[in-house]
Structure 1
Amino acid sequence: MTKVIRILAVDDDVHMLNFVAAELRQAGYEVVQVTSGEEALLRIESETMNLAVVDVMMPGIDGFELTQILRTEYDLPVILLTARHHIEDKERGFLAGSDDYLVKPFESKELLYRVKAILRRYNHPENDLLTIGSLTIDLKSYEARSTNGTLLTPLKEFELLSLLASQPNQVLSRDLMIERIWGIDFQGDEQTVNVHINRLRQRLERFAPDVQIITVRGVGYKIEVVR
């Protein structure tokens, strides 16, 4: 059974809150969204959290005060978000007990890298195995296994397969795949994704025929189990 990693996202800026929550959910985390420090403390009383992403500048209980409470009373790791660049604010954040600090604006990849690092540090590792149909994907060994044996693929194909399998039955756009697998600075085009997908399909036909990558015309691809 996949272990659920639940992250508390706290920000009075609804647009930023929605952005952070969407990126974390896209990466496979469960997210609880709240718009104030007071609401955050109410939610943590009733739900188990593994990490908090907290905005500094909030009315009422601000990010510094909330961080101190979360660290001292709940031993919860915290990433602070701020629009400020002053070193004094960073120092105050770390003194309050934050584990990391991100200055807005930031790229989603940077947030996700820091979340993963902190979860590893606090012994809340992400699940290293993905299972879909007869296929088991080992994110540590970069191997896919089924009853037909072990499938070894080039790295980009493995990363594409893992990305699709992490969100079964959900359509992922080609643009998203390019950003996640090749990076936002990639100079190629969508045809690169198509070529890799076609190769993956050929491998899966022989190796795990119950797992299929479906084309959604004009959008992208999804992976699903065919019974």
Structure 2
Amino acid sequence: MKSLKSIVLLGVCTALAGAPAAAAEISSTPIAGTRLDVSATGEVMRVPDQATVSAAVVTQAPTAARAVADNARRMSAAIQALRGAGIAERDIRTASLSVQPQYRYADGQAPVVTGYQASNSLSILFRQVDKVGSVIDTLVAAGINQIDGPDFTLADPEGALDAARTSALAKARARADLYARAAGLKVGRIVAIEEQGGGSPVRPVPMLAMARAEKANTPIAPGESKLAVTLSVVFELN
């Protein structure tokens, strides 16, 4: 019957057999005792403090010139509304602009142009999440007729990720202590640490339904976002 120590060492060898090529450099590090590879994930929850919204004006007209002119007038009003709401110029960016013909299709006949559609889309960064709802209402009143978002993020994700890294390393050490005790050994030193990934995406939020101009203060709930970091840690057991 195999001893517990033999089982633990067999598991370590099996894990090493399937390790990626990136771990080759780690294996060259001299280890006097027994090598143990541990993977652990640290997670933190944070409330998003900024949001991005896509707001577009889509217009249709018999001619391209009229569709574009209509679109420009409504988008200019929307940008002015954003400025009036206190959104800084640096946080307003044109994301896309297009003019496309619209066709009518019939069996056995060539497509016929029936008009033109112009689209102008803005990407708006909100540094104050509590302003998103009221500004969306203002945009709709100004002529915006297509909204996508909000996409909630953190202004300083690295601070949260550092907390997740610390948690992951603590979990890896606790797991190494567990294996060491089971094998009748002690954790000596950390030979190598490899980060497997950054933060997980912020929890997605469904697209907002179009708000009516007469309904102010569209409710916005940022909730909490989970950020996670996975570490692969190589320990030396003595």
Q: TM-score range by the shorter chain?
A: under 0.3
Normalising by the residue count of structure 2, what TM-score does the alignment of the two structures yield?
A: 0.20
Between 1 and 2, higher relative CO (CA 8 Å, sep ≥ 6) is seen in 2
Higher CA-based Rg: 2
